[in-house]
Structure 1
Amino acid sequence: MKFAISIGVFVWTMAWLVYELPQKSKVKKIELIIILVLSIEQVIIIGQAARGEMSHFNISSILNAVLFQIMGIAILINTIMVFWAFLLFRKVDTLPKGYKIGIQIGMVVFIIASLEGYLMASNLRHTVGAEDGQEGLYFLNWAKTYGDLRIFHFLGLHALQAIPLFAWYFSRENTKPVMVFGIFYFFLSLGTLWNAMAGRGLIVFP
């Protein structure tokens, strides 16, 4: 369910952003490729759940390993599409300056956080200092007492919404506040990665 929600938010966000691009033929290619690879991702996740198998970090059989690899390739292609859109935004001169830079910073942070997923894949786990499945926060399930690499992944991916929205509502024409907010957001997110890599859990008050 979390992946379905996340993918839903992402595709709506990309539709909202690439609408601003004038290169419509290239935008159409980006849109179709994103729809294709994320449909593959979601089908595998649902299919593995229906089989009673983990979708992620599962190399317990050849089939499970192949499906996990396909998911990784799909996400890499999706990340490349975001990078392509980022490059296309450089030529856009019809948007408010603050909003444009907000979109670009959001995409850069998204790309970094997306690639961080391969750190989890290489470890075949998202928990640092213990096995996956530790007690976590309600719904999000981020580990309370151990490091969890998913926190940076989540925050970084949603920079794609947070930073452009900040720019649109608070600094549409002024780039400096957007850049300050973007840098602050990135380093705040990066701090959760540093905390997780050290094996430290979230500070949770009872």
Structure 2
Amino acid sequence: MVVLTVVSAIGLAVDDRVLVGAPIWAKPFKFAVSFVAYAPTFAWMLSLLGRARPRLRRPGWWAGTVVAAASMLEMVIITGQVIRGKRSHFNHETPFDSMLYNTMALTVLVLWLAMLAIALFLFRARLADRATTWAVRCGAVLALAGAGLGFLMAQATPEQVAAAGSGEAKIVGAHSVGVADGGPGMPLTGWSTTGGDLRIAHFFGMHGLQLIPLFLVLLVALAPRFARLRDERVQLRLVLVAAGAYAAVLALLTWQALRGQPLIHPDGATLAAATLILVAGAAASFAALRTTPVTVTGDDTEKELAA
């Protein structure tokens, strides 16, 4: 994936072709960068799993290998179609294009099932501590949900359904909702600025895999300066609050996209929901920071432990 990132970056610099309103090498570049972040995170999680539950080391290794192989096959198809000047996703223009897309769709399903297996393994293991255990579990579940949103994009739009009835459907599926793919988009990401875009929630959910564990890393880094964060119970509570807020934002982004609404032009309902999430998250964080005394009895002495 690192090599493909470099190749795609060179392609962006020297190849001026445009496909569906974006530089033709933009898709493999974004996918490769995403996998560069994704693969080491899964490798780290599997290393924790292997130490915590040795019996799951081998099944975890196989599941991780499936993720790596499926990711590589998907990137080969995407890059190959770029070289041909063709769309990789949703493309049924020719039998060969359709075969490649169907292969990629099957590959994505296999990848998702392997991710599901890893998530189930993680729920069977107690890792370094409870906060780490739940940060990893929640990150894996959010990534599963985000990846699963990709299946919504494979559904035919009403216009494509009508075209299929007349035998003229060449593209089946879309990133955008309410507008055609390839319209005005945000810088770098290309996310639609005129309609809903399912790629936003897809991206946000998948990278919960990194962001929730990184949130715990931040808490641990701040612990020497803030006494309450040294309490493992507080760390666990804050991780669960962060995961819950993340899941709520993921649901909001999905809802916004399905209503055909651009990310940068939220309506009153979207803003109200976002405000509710913010207030609930702040209240839950405040409650999580409150610690209760724990009485420890031993050798006829009692000690009150409070943060």
The TM-score normalised by the length of structure 1 is: 0.94
Structural mapping, 1:1-206, within 5 Å: 1-22=29-50, 23-123=56-156, 124-170=173-219, 173=232, 174-203=235-264
Q: Deviations over 1:116-160 (max 9, x none)?
A: 111101131011111101111111000112111100000000000
Describe the SS at the equivalent of 1:36. helix
**Aligned residue identity for 1:144:** T
Q: Deviations over 1:20-47 (max 9, x none)?
A: 0122211221222112111110100000
**Aligned residue identity for 1:80:** L
Describe the SS at the equivalent of 1:122. coil
State the distance in 2 between where 1:13 and 1:38 align.
Answer: 14
| Percent of aligned pairs with the same amino acid | 31
State the distance in 1 between where 2:256 and 2:127 align.
Answer: 40
State the distance in 1 between where 2:113 and 2:68 align.
Answer: 13
Change over 3 Å in CA distance of 1:68–1:195 after alignment to 2:
same
Question: What's the Cα RMSD here?
Answer: 1.5
Deviation at 1:12, TM superposition (A): 1.4
Q: Deviations over 1:42-79 (max 9, x none)?
A: 10000000111001111111111111111111111111
State the distance in 1 between where 2:188 and 2:101 align.
Answer: 23
Q: Which protein shows a greater Rg?
A: 2
State the distance in 1 between where 2:260 and 2:113 align.
Answer: 30
Deviation at 1:14, TM superposition (A): 0.7
Number of residue pairs aligned between Structure 1 and Structure 2:
204
Deviation at 1:101, TM superposition (A): 0.5
Deviation at 1:90, TM superposition (A): 2.3
Question: Contact 1:98/1:168 (CA < 8 Å) preserved in 2?
Answer: no
Question: Contact 2:46/2:61 (CA < 8 Å) preserved in 1?
Answer: no
More divergent stretch after superposition (177-186 vs 17-26): 17-26
The TM-score normalised by the length of structure 2 is: 0.64
More divergent stretch after superposition (146-155 vs 22-31): 22-31
**Aligned residue identity for 1:156:** G
State the distance in 1 between where 2:203 and 2:144 align.
Answer: 12
State the distance in 2 between where 1:39 and 1:97 align.
Answer: 33
- Structure 2: give runs of 5+ residues left out of the alignment: 1-28, 51-55, 157-172, 221-229, 266-307
Change over 3 Å in CA distance of 1:180–1:59 after alignment to 2:
same
Change over 3 Å in CA distance of 1:94–1:152 after alignment to 2:
closer
Deviation at 1:109, TM superposition (A): 1.2
State the distance in 2 between where 1:94 and 1:103 align.
Answer: 9
Deviation at 1:92, TM superposition (A): 2.1
State the distance in 2 between where 1:170 and 1:109 align.
Answer: 20
State the distance in 1 between where 2:203 and 2:183 align.
Answer: 18
- Structure 1: give runs of 5+ residues left out of the alignment: none
Question: Contact 2:150/2:202 (CA < 8 Å) preserved in 1?
Answer: yes
State the distance in 2 between where 1:10 and 1:94 align.
Answer: 20
Change over 3 Å in CA distance of 1:190–1:94 after alignment to 2:
closer
Question: Contact 1:127/1:147 (CA < 8 Å) preserved in 2?
Answer: yes
State the distance in 2 between where 1:54 and 1:154 align.
Answer: 20
